[in-house]
Amino acid sequence: MQKQSAHGCGCYRERQSRWVEPSLLFLLMEKPCHGYELMSALPELGFIRGPADPGAVYRTLRHLEKVGLVASAWDTSHPGAAKRLYTITAAGKRHLGLWAESLRRRWTNLGAFIKKLDQAVAQKT
């Protein structure tokens, strides 16, 4: 079911999955993390509402590892079961830089579009 705003437009629809990859890479730039830590930190970035989808997070981590943007190793330094510790690779850092460039372009385009929208709405009222 798609989310609707209070006034019925689809402007509040969102696809969490589009933000999982850059968000995970960003969090791993800050420090190596276990999957659970990443899931806990994702909502704090503001791109998703509610808890992160564990399936989406771990699928994305596996994909990022497969393509060489993230590496993982078993962490046995704590009592209890071993956990995977994820780190960003040099290729992952470069890839995150490409995300930043893309988002800057999108930000510029969105700013121009919002200006046009504001002008159009002002003319109609």
8 part of a folded domain: no
Residue 90's H or E segment, with its range, is helix 90-124
1 part of a folded domain: no
- What are all long-range contacts of 103-110, with beta carbons under 8 Å and residues at least 24 apart? 103/22
34 part of a folded domain: yes
Mean per-residue pLDDT over the chain, rounded: 87
**Total structural domains within the chain:** 1
pLDDT at res. 40:
94
Q: What angle do CA 78, 81, 86 make, to 5 degrees?
A: 70
Q: What is the mean pLDDT of residues 49-62?
A: 92
Is 80 exceeded by the pLDDT of residue 14?
A: no
Q: Residue 69 sits in which domain range?
A: 17-124
91 part of a folded domain: yes
CATH number of the domain residue 53 falls in: 1.10.10.10
Overall pTM surpassing 0.85 (yes/no) = no
Residue 119 amino acid letter: Q
Report d(CA 4, CA 71) in Å as an integer.
38
Is the dihedral angle over the CA atoms 56, 86, 38, 42 positive or is it negative? negative
Report d(CA 62, CA 42) in Å as an integer.
17
pLDDT at res. 17:
60
Is 50 exceeded by the pLDDT of residue 1?
A: no
Give the relative orientation of helices 17-30 and 90-124 as an angle to the nearest 10 degrees: 130
Residue 71's H or E segment, with its range, is strand 70-75
4 part of a folded domain: no
Q: Considering only residues 5 and 123, tell me which one the structure prediction assigns the higher pLDDT.
A: 123
